[in-house]
Every structure is written in C-alpha cells, then in structure tokens.
C-alpha cells in the first residue's frame, strides 16, 4: 500500500478517499489534512464524480482524530487560526454537491467523528466506537463537532457526549440517529459501495439539487426552505435528464442520464 497519507481512486463516477495512516489508527496530522483539503477542493468542481465515499485504512479505525504528537508544540493564537483556515477540509466538504458517505470501521473519535459528521450518510460497522473526546485533552471539538452533532442527535445528547467525552457503540449510535446504518464490520465497505453505486446511477443534477434543498433548507425558515425547494424543482423540469427519465419510464428501459 502507498505511504501517501490519503489514498484516492475513482471508479464509475464514485470517488473513494481513504485515510491512510493505519499504524496510528488514521490519526490526522498536517500532511493528511493538507491532502484532504486538496482532494475535496478538487471534488467540489468535479462534475464527473457523482458520489464520494470516505473511509479509513485497516480494520481498527476510521480515524482516531488529531495526531496528539502535534499538540506538544505551543502555538500563538494567530498561528493556530491561520493553520485552521488553511487546513479545514470539512468546510470544503460543505461545498461539495455530491452525496458523501462515511464508511466507519472501528474507532471514530474526536476529529475522526467530526469527519464523519461532515459526511451526508454514515454507515458503521458493528465494531464502531464513536465519540467527541476532546474534553480529555482540555479542549473542545474544533472541526464542527459542537455544531453538527446537536443537529443530528439533539442538544441534550450532544452535550452529554461532548462534556463527558463518552464513547458509544454502533447500536447506540444508530438508536440516537448518529449513523444511518449498522452492518457487520467486514461488510462496511461493501455496503458503502453498493449505496454509492446506487446513487451514482441516479440523475446527477437531481441528486445535487436534492442535497442542496435538504442541507441549505435546514438553515432556513420553513417558508424559505419551501421556496428553495420550489425553485430547484422548477429548474429540474427544464433539464434534458427530466425528459429522458420520462421517456425511459414509458419505454420501460434504463435511463441514460447526461447530467444536463
């Protein structure tokens, strides 16, 4: 396996990003963050990639979070703020119109869970262990955890997890809505790739607009969200793919989507 911190491949419109530091449970250091930033920056403008899968190398961890070895050097606030701005790949993920699927085996802690939270759909193995454990290092989540977690599981459960640094298993994560599916550990990537292929086979513009309506709509009032949905729905009625979908349905054949 390559010694690159992040592995990348594209197959049939599905991109797979693999955190590749299994010896340290895919902990995130500066080179890994830089590689993730570059990959997602490119993907945000890549119309050929229709779905993204994010996973970790090996069978022990999605990601253990930040590489603590980088924590022992003091930073002045301006240095740290600039470093965050330059390496915050999760904000770049927010600009990706493609559905992003997290395939989680083993531990997803701290920044590792924040990476999963920045994805759209989370599939966990039954061996998964998830938590925002930053409080144990006298810090708080800084990669979106305090904002994304309560939007998924509610204020009380999010505060319980963040303030105690507790770790929860896959079954509990499914129960509280932190993950969407739990499968046997050995089947995580199979399940993620099957879902990715299914989504990649859908009309790509409709997929992008559906994600936009949901994600942006959550930050709006209901009236504004309904207006956004109506605008995007109207735009889709003008596409060639909409006509192709209707013809394929009437002719009882598989549609040939063109993405326009």
Q: Please give the positions annotated as active site.
A: 114, 134
Terminal-residue alpha carbon distance, the chain? 38
β-strands 129-131, 168-169 pairing: antiparallel
Q: Contact, 236 vs 243, CB < 8 A?
A: no
Q: Residue 71: exposed, middle, or buried by beta-carbon count in 10 A (0-12, 13-18, 19+)?
A: exposed
The two structure tokens encoding residue 91: 């904000």
Task: Give the Cα separation of 40 and 95 in Å (integer).
Answer: 9
- Long-range contacts of range 154-161, CB-CB < 8 Å, 24 or more positions apart? 161/131, 161/132
d(CA 196, CA 54): 11
């Amino acid at each position: 396996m390559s010694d690159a911190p992040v592995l990348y491949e594209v197959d049939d419109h599905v991109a797979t990003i693999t955190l590749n530091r299994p010896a340290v449970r895919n902990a995130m250091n500066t080179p890994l963050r830089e590689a993730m930033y570059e990959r997602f920056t490119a993907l945000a403008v890549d119309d050929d990639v229709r779905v993204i899968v994010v996973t970790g190398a090996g069978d022990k961890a999605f990601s253990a979070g930040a590489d603590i070895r980088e924590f022992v050097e003091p930073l002045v606030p301006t240095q740290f703020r600039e470093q965050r701005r330059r390496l915050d790949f999760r904000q770049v993920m927010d600009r990706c119109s493609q559905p992003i699927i997290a395939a989680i085996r083993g531990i997803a802690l701290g920044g590792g869970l924040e990476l999963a939270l920045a994805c759209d759909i989370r599939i966990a193995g039954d061996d998964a262990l998830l938590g925002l454990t930053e409080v144990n290092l006298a810090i708080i989540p800084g990669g979106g955890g305090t904002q994304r977690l309560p939007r998924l599981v509610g204020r009380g459960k999010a505060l319980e997890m963040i303030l105690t640094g507790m770790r929860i298993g896959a079954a509990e994560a499914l129960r509280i809505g932190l993950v969407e599916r739990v499968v046997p550990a050995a089947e995580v990537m199979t399940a993620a790739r099957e879902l990715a292929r299914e989504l990649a086979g859908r009309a790509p513009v409709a997929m992008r607009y559906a994600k936009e309506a949901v994600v942006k709509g959550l930050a709006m009032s209901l009236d504004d969200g309904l207006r956004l949905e109506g605008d995007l729905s109207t735009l889709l009625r003008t596409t060639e793919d909409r006509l192709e979908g209707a013809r394929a349905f009437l002719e009882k054949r598989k549609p040939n989507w063109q993405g326009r």
